Amino acid sequence: MAVRLLGYEVADLCLGKPPLRSLSVSATVGDALVALKTSEDNYISVWSCDHSSSSKSDEICRCIGKICMVDVICFLCMEKNLSSPSSALKAPLSVLLSQVPVGLVRHVEPSSSLLEVIDLILQGAQNLVVPIKCNSRRKILPKPSNSPTIHNGREYCWLTQEDVIRFLLSSIGLFSTIPALSVQKLGIISTEFSAVWYHSPASAAAGAISDSLAEQTSVAVVDSDGILVGEISPFTLACCDETVAAAITTLSAGDLMAYIDCGGPPEDILRVVKARLKERNLEGMLEEFALSNSSDIPSFNSSSSSDEESLPSPTTPLPRSGRYSRSTSYSARMVRRSEAIVCHPGSSLVAVMIQAIAHRVNYVWVIEEDCSLVGIVTFSNMLEVFREYLQSMA
């Protein structure tokens, strides 16, 4: 029976979780960028600590937020930062945290119950920070006190919505007939989501990208008939580097999808980004973009006009021929395609759970047979179903 799940604690879900890498709240945006580029994780925790205090209380050292590459990209896309991204990187990290809704990161005790965890997630928490219990049978090597994983002499990990969904999926057989019911029958298809027209400027979607990051969803890209063409996903953008800000500033939503697709952006799109930055006199961003995507692309300082004449206008869709052979805009972490992960209203709950987990996303788009967009199913929607069932068992 599913009632046995009520006996599980947070510590049971944390087994094998690695300690959190961290940044101090006093760091700069540039510090965060360097840390993200050298991390295998998409997110880095941000802590506020008073190491001068003699108190042993955990309250003197708290995780107050999290930062990912998309936060940096959206910050660089702000109008005030377009002309000089290098200066923007000197800003304090707090400017990024101010954009993050309060309550996304919460501290919990290892003894907290599974129901308490689900309740916190349904209240808006995305990452639950948990102190790692020391295994007495494993020898712990001493670490320097300034280690980026040590706070008050302890290491912490965090649980995500995905961790909880994976745990429930491993025990899916305990939930009677619920997993086989369709997402439509369960009433968990949400019609509240962000969407942008394929040919509209990607810069117009910057706010929606930031919102979808906070909500752990995505921005749908649709055509004039409401057909789902693809998506601009924070999960994909998190695998890129900061120069994607130049692409968001200059390309259409459709062309941005091609730019961030795994394998690297096509040469023709790189040419257009560079040309449009030059047209807008965004010399600072142009310099950063050129440094990141150097040498293989012919210079626009050439006296020949043939290259310029071959460039599409900002309102002309770019051709889809060729793939960029280098991957300068992609980190060593897992990269994802900009193709949307989809299901149908009649898809079962368990099938949608497996889809989302297999693709490492927190949502699945719901479409009709003609590919028209119906809505979205998120991990939070799924957890509401399991929460109601577990509560009835309590």
pLDDT in tens, 53-70: 555 555 678 899 999 999
Q: Convert the pLDDT of each residue in 8-27 to its tens digit.
A: 899 999 998 999 989 999 99
Q: What is residue 326's predicted lDDT score, i.e. its pLDDT?
A: 27
Q: Convert the pLDDT of each residue in 211-243 to its tens digit.
A: 999 999 999 999 999 999 999 999 999 989 899
Q: What is residue 41's predicted lDDT score, i.e. its pLDDT?
A: 87
Q: What is residue 343's predicted lDDT score, i.e. its pLDDT?
A: 97
Q: Across residues 356-378, what is the average pLDDT?
A: 96
Q: What is the mean pLDDT of the chain?
A: 83
Reply yes or no on whether the pLDDT at 390 is more than 60: yes
Reply yes or no on whether the pLDDT at 329 is more than 60: no
Q: What is residue 305's predicted lDDT score, i.e. its pLDDT?
A: 35
Q: Across residues 197-204, what is the average pLDDT?
A: 96
Reply yes or no on whether the pLDDT at 309 is more than 70: no
Single pTM value for the model: 0.83
Reply yes or no on whether the pLDDT at 130 is more than 70: yes
Reply yes or no on whether the pLDDT at 303 is more than 70: no
Q: What is residue 151's predicted lDDT score, i.e. its pLDDT?
A: 75
Reply yes or no on whether the pLDDT at 146 is more than 50: no
Q: Give a three-class secondary structure readout of the chain.
A: CHHHHHHCEHHHHCCCCCCCCEEECCCEHHHHHHHHHCCCCCEEEEEEECCCCCCCCHHHEEEEEEEEHHHHHHHHCCHHHCCCHHHHCCCECHHHHCCCCCCCEEECCCCCEHHHHHHHHHCCCCEEEEECCCCCCCCCCCCCCCCCCEECCEEEEEEEHHHHHHHHHHCHHHCCCHHHCEHHHHCCCECCCEEEECCCEHHHHHHHHHHHHHHCCCEEEECCCCEEEEEECHHHHCCECCCHHHHHHHCEHHHHHHHHCCCCCCHHHHHHHHHHHHHCCCHHHHHHHHHHCCCCCCCCCCCCCHHHHCCCCCCCCCCCCCCCCCCCCECCCCCCCCCCCEECCCCEHHHHHHHHHHCCCCEEEEECCCCEEEEEEEHHHHHHHHHHHHHHHC
| 283 vs 341 pLDDT, higher one | 341
| 54 vs 111 pLDDT, higher one | 111
